[in-house]
């Protein structure tokens, strides 16, 4: 007994854990709302909408529908007296696990250099990008850089984004160790001795290793000179170039490899050592080399500075090796990170300050004043984020002007900060805020739109993803960038803050997936899964 769904009622379309806070939102002014169990059409809960805040982008008042006190598992819809109803959703202890699994599995389905044939999702294509790639700066040379994951809706592979992505995914091991373990994912890639999450991540690490030069420097990317049309990966036969090395790429590589070395140590000692050697080699190149940004090409993801990345690399190397040289580097260069609690932002390819802070906050537990100060700052920052969420109409940590490229990733990226704060200083409001960020991304937002493919009734059907457009098959579990008030794709509406989004495959600025976007989703869902099953 499903009532037709209205875009005026925003809920998390996957659902809520019984012990989670449960908020839905509407702009309709009504006296009451009810929670209806779909199995038998019975109303199980009624509540009174509470005034939230004004949505500055529309000038409309927003109301919160709070049903946190209702905790029974089942499938439900919110109904309003005027006949409007929300998307159906579940209350279940397994909701986060379902999101985690799909989001993590999406990486397997984006593997490059192999044929994909997944019985669960029917994602299928022939082997792709198997030829050696040509060095952009010396076209007489080529190199085997097969493997890894397609970065996004295009088939390029980019080091700065890859490094931040794997490092963030590996936070799972610290924040949700059981969820990262074996037997959780229904892997479609060949079996290995790694725990499931590490098996998935190893694919990208293996590709990254191929991108390091003999002298330790690391190449920027493997991509065709122009983005391909909306074709299948195996039909993308234009020459792939290897774009030149840079120090930001090398530093991000060094950081990610050092973290990965820690992660794989209990399972595969020799692999862990290989990763550490690669990291040290990259570091030694950096110590001999001033900043190189390689601005000569128009490649995506070219960071404008290497400074925060060097500090991050030193932080990871310190936590992995305990060597005082790295601790000294961190001490001497700490000012190169953004340390102002009100200005710390989620890390991405351009800015990795917060990754350095999270790493030291969690990993440097010995007597070290700087590390305790960072923990204090992280907690202050977490409180700023929670406060912003409490003053926003739909519980988002973003202001209307913050809806830039990958706003869904930014929203969830704060979750990584809050989860780390919660490890250091557990407070009930941290996990509450994290689940509200996930609620936002899965439909408790002004568009009543889920931004993850395959999750929720109103989820992206036309992502900017070449495989999907060419084959008609959706890859489930992909987080799209979401609202982007600065969108330059001429398809999504501009300057509407959280409303600047359209589910149209031409809207690369709002409706494209990317590996870094998904990392935040994986860690947040994994963390909440573990937290709510304690
Ligand atoms: O996520 C990237 C965002 O931070 C940049 O501002 C934007 C413009 O350069 O590009 C985004 O990344 C895209 C990349 O450039 C090419 N592959 C697809 C990526 C996701 O849209
Ligand atoms: Zn490929």
The reported pLDDT for the residue numbered 460 is 98
Closest residue CA from atom 9 of ligand 1? 300
pLDDT digits (tens, 9 = 90+) for 112-121: 999 999 999 9
Boundaries of every domain in the chain:
9-91, 95-532
For residue 508, which atom of ligand 1 is closest to its CA?
A: 21
Query: For domain 95-532, which CATH number applies: 1.10.10.10, 2.130.10.10, 1.10.3720.10, 1.50.10.10?
Result: 1.50.10.10
Residue 413 Cβ < 6 Å to ligand 1 = no
The reported pLDDT for the residue numbered 4 is 83
CA distance 464 to 507: 6
Residues around ion ligand 2, judged by CB within 5 A, are 112, 128-129, 233
If DSSP states are collapsed to H, E and C, what string results for 419-475?
HHHHHHCCCCHHHHHHHHHHHHHCCCCCCCCCCECCCCCCCCCCCECHHHHHHCCCC
CA distance 150 to 49: 44
Q: What is the CATH number of domain 9-91?
A: 2.60.40.10
CA distance 427 to 460: 34
Q: Which of 227, 300, 478 to mutate to test the pocket of ligand 1 (most atoms within 8 A of CB)?
A: 300
Ligand 1 centroid from CA 110, angstroms: 17
Please list the rounded mean pLDDT of every run of 10 residues in the chain (534 residues).
86 98 96 96 97 92 98 97 95 97 97 97 98 97 98 98 98 95 88 93 98 98 97 98 98 99 97 98 98 90 97 98 98 98 98 98 92 98 98 96 98 98 97 98 98 98 98 98 96 96 98 98 98 88
Ligand 2 centroid from CA 148, angstroms: 8
ipTM over 0.95: yes
The reported pLDDT for the residue numbered 294 is 85
The reported pLDDT for the residue numbered 2 is 78
Q: Do domains 9-91 and 95-532 have the same CATH topology?
A: no
Q: Which of 514, 516, 517, 520 to mutate to test the pocket of ligand 1 (most atoms within 8 A of CB)?
A: 514
């Amino acid at each position: 007994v499903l009532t037709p769904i209205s875009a005026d009622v925003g809920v998390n379309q996957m659902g809520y854990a019984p012990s989670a806070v449960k908020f839905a939102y509407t702009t309709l002014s009504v006296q009451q709302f009810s929670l209806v169990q779909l199995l038998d059409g019975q109303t199980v809960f009624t509540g009174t909408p509470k005034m939230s805040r004004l949505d500055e982008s529309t000038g409309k008042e927003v109301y919160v529908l709070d049903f946190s006190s209702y905790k029974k598992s089942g499938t439900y819809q919110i109904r309003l007296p005027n006949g409007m109803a929300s998307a159906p959703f579940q209350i279940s202890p397994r909701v986060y696990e379902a999101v985690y699994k799909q989001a993590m599995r999406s990486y397997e389905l984006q593997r490059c250099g192999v044929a994909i044939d997944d019985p669960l999702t029917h994602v299928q294509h022939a082997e792709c990008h198997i030829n050696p790639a040509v060095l952009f700066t010396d076209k007489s040379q080529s190199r085997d850089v097969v493997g890894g994951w397609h970065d996004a809706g295009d088939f390029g592979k980019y080091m700065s984004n890859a490094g931040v992505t794997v490092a963030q995914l590996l936070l799972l091991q610290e924040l949700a160790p059981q969820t990262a373990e074996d037997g959780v994912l229904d892997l479609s890639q060949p079996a290995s001795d790694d725990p499931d999450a590490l098996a998935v991540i190893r694919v990208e690490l293996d590709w990254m290793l191929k991108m390091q030069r003999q002298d330790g420097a690391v190449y920027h990317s493997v991509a065709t000179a122009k983005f391909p049309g909306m074709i299948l990966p195996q039909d993308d036969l234009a020459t792939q170039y290897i774009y030149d090395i840079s120090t930001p790429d090398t530093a991000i590589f060094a950081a990610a490899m050092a973290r990965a070395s820690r992660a794989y140590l209990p399972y595969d000692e020799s692999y862990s050592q290989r990763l550490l050697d690669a990291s040290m080699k990259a570091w030694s190149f950096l110590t001999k080399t001033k900043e190189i940004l390689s601005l000569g090409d128009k490649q995506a993801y070219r960071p404008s500075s290497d400074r925060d990345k060097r500090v991050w690399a030193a932080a990871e190397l310190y936590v992995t090796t305990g060597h005082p040289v790295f601790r000294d580097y961190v001490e001497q260069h700490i000012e190169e990170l953004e340390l102002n609690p009100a200005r710390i932002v989620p890390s991405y390819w351009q800015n990795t300050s917060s990754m350095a802070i999270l790493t030291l906050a969690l990993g440097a537990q010995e007597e070290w004043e700087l590390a305790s100060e960072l923990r204090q700052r992280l907690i202050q920052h977490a409180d700023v984020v929670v406060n912003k969420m409490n003053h926003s109409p739909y519980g988002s940590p973003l202001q209307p002007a913050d809806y830039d490229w990958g706003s869904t990733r930014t929203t969830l990226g704060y979750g990584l900060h809050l989860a780390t704060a919660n490890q250091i200083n557990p407070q009930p409001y941290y996990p509450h805020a994290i689940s509200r960020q996930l609620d936002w991304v899965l439909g408790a937002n002004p568009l009543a739109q889920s931004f993850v493919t395959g999750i929720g009734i109103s989820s992206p059907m036309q992502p900017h993803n070449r495989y999907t457009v060419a084959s008609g098959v959706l890859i489930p579990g992909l987080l799209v960038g979401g609202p982007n008030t600065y969108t330059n794709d001429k398809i999504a509406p501009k300057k509407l803050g959280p409303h600047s989004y359209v589910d149209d495959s031409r809207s690369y600025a709002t409706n494209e997936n990317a590996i870094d976007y998904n990392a935040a989703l994986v860690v947040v869902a994994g963390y909440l899964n573990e937290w709510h099953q304690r």
